[in-house]
Amino acid sequence: MLKNKLLFISPLIVLLVIALFGLTLIPSVQQKPKNLPMALVNEDIGAVIPQQGKVNMGDTITNMLKKNITSTKGEVPPVKWINVESKEDVLKGLDNQEYYGALIIPKNFSQKQSSLMTSKPEKPEINIFINQGMNPVAANLVGQMLNTMGNHLKNGIQTQVLQGLEKQNISLKPNQLTPLTDPLQVNVENVNGVGTASMNGNAPVALFQPLWMSSIAGAVVIFFVANKLNFVNQKQKLYTVLTQVIAGIILGLVAGFGLTWVADLLGVHISKFVDISLFLTITYFAFFLLITAVLSWLGIKGMPIFVLLLFFGAPLLSMAPEMMSTFYQDYIYSWLPMRFMVEGLRELFFFHRDFSFSGPTSILLWISLGSFFILLLSVLRVQGSYSKESSYEDEEVRATER
């Protein structure tokens, strides 16, 4: 063993493998939100306050929020506030996965805040919506940021009211003291909730790995079966390719309905069994054809591509794109075929969508079609060997006749 060079190279090989797969941890370690889209609705109509004139606290809060996120020099702000006209538009945007959350300032906000200096105080309110189904990690982060913002607003309102009372030399009555200790009502509502039986909202990501591994297994088994055949002409090769495609459809049905059944059996809440099963069937078929197409050109040497896709892609699937670095967001995540599976499952699980051939499903079908054409081109790749075999057969026939 001491004479074998591999023995001394083995530490370098181990270090290389650790470094390679250590790179897969980078996105998870450096999670930092950038420009998370948040909806902002200001319906406040303002109020007239003695010795101050007309004020609009909704405008003040809006300006403060936008000033805070743009004050950091040289850094991308964590939140991107988007002005929206009404609550109805916000709810539509949340359902369409346009916003991770929303802040709504009611029309009587200034009036209620000014009432804190009167004998009949009323707490002003703000309404916060968290789009829980878009991404569990981002939803928790948005919730923390909005709660922190609510606490800052409470402190600001308390300070402003006390300063106004001091300027007007108004003494507080007992019924005014309690509202000032907590001068803001923050109403938080989770929309498109993940429920209690969805692996904390990670069910779409959790279903990826078994489907991806089973698609690799199915494609490799069918590839080995086809690779053992000897073809006399292109027509036979074409029939084999079509047989592989049919096998992929059958395996897709088994995997799609089988995985959905297993998930349901394990306690995952499956609200639409057939819809989720059909989507997983199409997803499996797309992955199967993609892997089969690569194997048809590269052989088993192409397998490391899909292993690396698993290790580098899996950590990204559980993250919001806005929490990745620009490199991972633009050059890795955007090109991952499995992200369409996770996006489609999120729509089915949390956004009350029915199965359709639009959205992520259409992209998976395009992947299937592109992979199918690449697989068909592999039939032409061995044209020379077919003609050579045919000429050998012709010579044998002529020799037999002679």
- Architecture of the domain made up of 32-191: 3-Layer(aba) Sandwich (3.40)
pLDDT of 384 reads 46
In this structure, are strands 185-191 and 101-105 parallel, antiparallel, or unpaired? Answer: unpaired
The confidence score (pLDDT) of residue 77 equals 86
Predicted confidence pLDDT, tens digits, the chain (402 residues): 777 777 888 889 888 888 877 777 777 776 788 899 999 999 999 988 766 678 899 998 998 887 766 545 567 888 999 999 999 999 999 999 999 999 999 999 999 988 887 778 888 999 999 999 999 989 999 999 988 888 888 888 888 877 777 676 666 666 666 677 788 899 999 999 998 899 989 999 999 999 999 999 999 999 999 999 888 888 999 999 999 999 999 999 999 999 999 999 999 999 999 999 999 999 999 999 999 999 999 999 999 999 889 888 888 999 999 998 888 888 889 999 999 999 999 999 999 899 999 999 999 999 999 999 999 999 987 544 444 444 444 555 455 555
Give the residue from 83, 80, 84, 103 showing the smallest Cα distance to 92: 84
**Where do the CATH 3.40.1710.10 domains begin and end in the chain?**
32-191
Query: Residue 102 carries which side chain, given as an amino acid letter?
Result: A
Model pTM score: 0.87
Residue 130 and residue 139 in contact, taking contact as beta carbons nearer than 8 Å: yes
Q: Using an 8 Å Cβ cutoff, are 88 and 24 in contact? A: no
Helix (H, G, I), strand (E, B) or coil at 209: helix
The phi and psi torsions of 358 (rounded to 5 degrees) equal: -110, 175
From residue 151, alpha-carbon distances to 106, 147, 155, 331 in Å are 18, 6, 6, 38
For position 167, what pLDDT does the model report?
72
